[in-house]
Amino acid sequence: MLNYNSPIMETKEYPDIKISEVEPILKINLRGKNRDFVTKVGKELSIIPPVDPNTSSSNEKLNLLWLSPDEWFLYSNNKIELKDSNFLEDSLFNEISKKKLGSVTNVSDHWVKINLSGTKIFDLLSAGCPFNFSNFKNSKGAVTQTLVNHIDVIIHNKNTNELNLFVRRSFSMHLWSWLNDSARFI
Amino acid sequence: MFLINCPYCGERDQSEFSAGGEAHIVRPKQPTELSDDEWAEFLFMRKNIKGIQFERWNHAHGCRKWFNVIRDTSNDKIHAVYKMGEEPPIK
């Protein structure tokens, strides 16, 4: 993990919408296909990688999101110390990558986590997103990868009226500006 | 604009996908034995028919998986979607 410099470091509140950047948190991309990979990830994290599309598995510390049939995205619930993230990354790397079961990539610096909460967050996203949130917003733990204002995002429905949105660092300021601009008109 | 039923993620808007051209073009087993015209035919020549066409699509802004689509190019009606390596459900 590189020296982490948060690109946004702000929290904004609007009527029925709160937007905040939550960093630094651990983010790891996991890729693998065979059963041994799934078993090993489950053993290391105490979470079985979800096999159903657009779903996630969680425990009190970590969330594991389905991205594609052979790809998962791991992130921590809370802000995490650098040494803790290295420990988890190293243990996954040693058990999975080194044993050629799959790949483990620390993407903590690649993605920026933005937390949205409030009763109108889906109205806000729908202003610039082709995804149909009607079923998604009632499914706790649902995951989708889609576009918001033409920017690639991963959206995790964490709780009722609360979601975590991940955006690539280079697009994060642009998306942040768009979210804040659009929130004024919702 | 139309909806595509990704075989992995489900129904999504077309803007999340990118088109990858005609499907089921088989690479020649011995390219060195082909004439320049035959090689050019394989590399460049694609059907662009008005009607039902077999195409490759990629869910570029979703699961990033490739799959096949049978689409009517005249009205964008999708007749079938199937994974790479599977037989087309419609001949």
Q: Is A186 on the interface with B (CB under 8 A)?
A: no
Q: Which of A181, A125, A166, A173 is nearest to A22 (CA)?
A: A166
DSSP H or E segment with residue A116: strand A111-117
pLDDT value for B88 = 93
Q: Is there a cis peptide before residue A50, judged by omega within 30 degrees of 0?
A: no
Report the share of chain A in percent with pLDDT over 70. Answer: 95
CA distances (Å), origin A184, targets A19, A71, A160, A181, B7: 12, 36, 22, 6, 37
Report chain B residues whose CB lies below 8 A from the CB of A69.
Answer: 8, 63, 65
Contact A147 B8 (CB under 8 A): no
The answer to whether residue A5 sits within a structural domain is: no
Interface of B with A (CB under 8 A): 8-13, 15-16, 61-65
Report chain B residues whose CB lies below 8 A from the CB of A152.
Answer: 61
Answer whether B20's CB lies under 8 Å from B55's CB. yes
Which among B8, B12, B61 has CB closest to A69?
A: B8
The answer to whether residue A33 sits within a structural domain is: yes
Contact A146 B12 (CB under 8 A): yes
- How many domains in chain A? 1
The answer to whether residue A86 sits within a structural domain is: yes
Answer whether B54's CB lies under 8 Å from B61's CB. no
Q: What is the CATH number of domain B3-83?
A: 3.30.2270.10
DSSP code, position A101: S
The answer to whether residue A115 sits within a structural domain is: yes
Contact A67 B61 (CB under 8 A): no
pLDDT value for A116 = 97
Q: Which of A133, A68, A76, A13 is nearest to B83 (CA)?
A: A68
Q: Which residues contact A46 (CB under 8 A, 6 or more apart)?
A: A59
pLDDT digits over A60-111, tens only? 999 999 999 999 999 998 887 766 667 888 899 999 999 999 999 999 889 9
Which among B8, B11, B61 has CB closest to A147?
A: B61
Answer whether A127's CB lies under 8 Å from A87's CB. no
The answer to whether residue A32 sits within a structural domain is: yes
Contact A146 B62 (CB under 8 A): yes
Tell me the residue range of the domain where A56 lies: 14-183
The answer to whether residue A1 sits within a structural domain is: no
Assigned token pair, B30: 């011995």
Q: Alpha helices, DSSP H only, in A16-148?
A: 35-45, 82-92, 121-126
Assigned token pair, B84: 């790479």
For chain B, domain boundaries:
3-83
The answer to whether residue A153 sits within a structural domain is: yes
| β-bridge partners, A105 | A29
Helix (H, G, I), strand (E, B) or coil at A146: strand
Q: Which residue has the tokens 């040494």?
A: A83
Q: Is the pLDDT of residue A136 over 60?
A: yes
Which among A54, A67, A130 has CB closest to B16?
A: A130
User: B2: distance to nearest CA of chain A, Å?
Assistant: 11
Q: Which ipTM value was assigned to this complex?
A: 0.90
pLDDT value for A7 = 77
User: B74: distance to nearest CA of chain A, Å?
Assistant: 23
Q: Is A146 on the interface with B (CB under 8 A)?
A: yes
What CATH number corresponds to the domain at position A150?
Answer: 3.30.1360.120
Assigned token pair, A150: 């033409």
DSSP code, position A18: E
Contact B65 A54 (CB under 8 A): no
Q: Is the pLDDT of residue B27 over 60?
A: yes
Contact B16 A147 (CB under 8 A): yes
| pTM, to two decimals | 0.92
Helix (H, G, I), strand (E, B) or coil at A78: coil
